[in-house]
Structure formats: structure tokens, C-alpha cells
Amino acid sequence: MSLQAGHILLLSGSPGSGKTTTAAMLARLPGVRKVHLHSDDFWGNIKQGLIDPWLPESDAQNRMIMAIAADMAFAYARHGYFVALDGVVRPFWLPAFEQFNVPLHYIVLRTGLAEAVARCRARGGDSLTDPAVITDLHEQFVDLGAFERHILAVDGFDKRQTLDAVIAALASGRYRVNGPPTSTTG
């Protein structure tokens, strides 16, 4: 499957689901020009006044980040890039991206809680490692209601298996948000 220029992939899931690693690997594949937007960087750019994005009082800040991320993703897509934006992207983010009327895909990587916590704790550095916060964010993806069809189960997958699963999911067209699903497979 070749990734298509001008498409945006929102690669979501709880912390520790593999979204950042997978988006980075996807963006390095040969083919069309690609960009990886790591949504955590948008929060990291705030040097004074940052509110941790999982806190209830961060709603206005998070909506601002959502709008900025959507604008940036669209700018790249409009200039012929395949965009892989990874982050803890919940369904309420989708309208910010749909407004641009470019092909939009939404894939939510789902792992078990124990695996997510273990992955986060193994990272080190300034990564999120608090099991309580990871658990809370993981629970936000347990039941996505109408968006449950956008779940891609990757529990127990290694990096390559997750990448292959995402490529196959994109090729299937089932994770397309706007417009008709478009399959690039037979």
C-alpha cells in the first residue's frame, strides 16, 4: 500500500499504545513525502503557563492545541504531504480536522492497560510514567461508542507488527472518517 499525498492520519490511543513510534516509522517509509506531527510537541512548546493536558482545567488550552495541530496538518497535506499526527486524540478532535475537507483517517491503537503502563515506565526521561494518569487516559479509550470501529487492537504487538497493522488498516479504507472508505487493496 502506498500512502497517499494530501491525506491526514490521526493515530491515537492511550499513552504506551505505540502511536508515536508507529507514526515516526510510517513517516520514514519510502514513497510520497510524509511528515510526522507529534502532538506532545505542541504542549511542549508552551514554556510558561502550561497546564498538564489531562487536568480538567486544561480544556481551553487543549482546544487551542487541537486547532493549531489541525491547521498545521492541513498546511502539510495541502502541499502534498501524507501527514501522520499522533497523540491522545479523542473523537471530539475530529471536527477540527474535517473542516478542511482533505482525506482524513482515524486509527486508535488499543493495548491492554498493563502493557501501556509497562511501556510508559520503560521510557524514562521526562515521559509520562504516573500509573494513575496512564490508567485514566487508557480508560478514556475503553468505549468509543460510534467510533469503536476505529479501534485497531495491537496488544502484544512489537513495533513492526504495529506498523504493518496500521498500513493494512489504512489500505482497507475502513478507518476513513470523511468521504467514502477507499480501499487500496484488491
pLDDT in tens, 105-122: 999 999 999 988 888 888
51-59's contacts with Cβ under 8 Å and 24+ in sequence apart are 53/88, 54/133, 54/136, 54/137
User: Residue 186: is its pLDDT beyond 50?
Assistant: no
Q: What is the pLDDT of residue 181?
A: 53
> What fold characterizes domain 8-172?
Rossmann fold (3.40.50)
* pLDDT tens digits, one per residue of 75-101: 999 999 999 999 999 898 899 998 998
Query: Is the predicted pLDDT of residue 163 greater than 70, yes or no?
Result: yes
Whether 52 shows a pLDDT value over 70: the answer reads yes
Which of 58, 67, 154, 51 has the alpha carbon at shortest distance from 107? 154
Contact status, residue 85 vs residue 94, Cβ threshold 8 Å: no
Domain ranges of the chain: 8-172
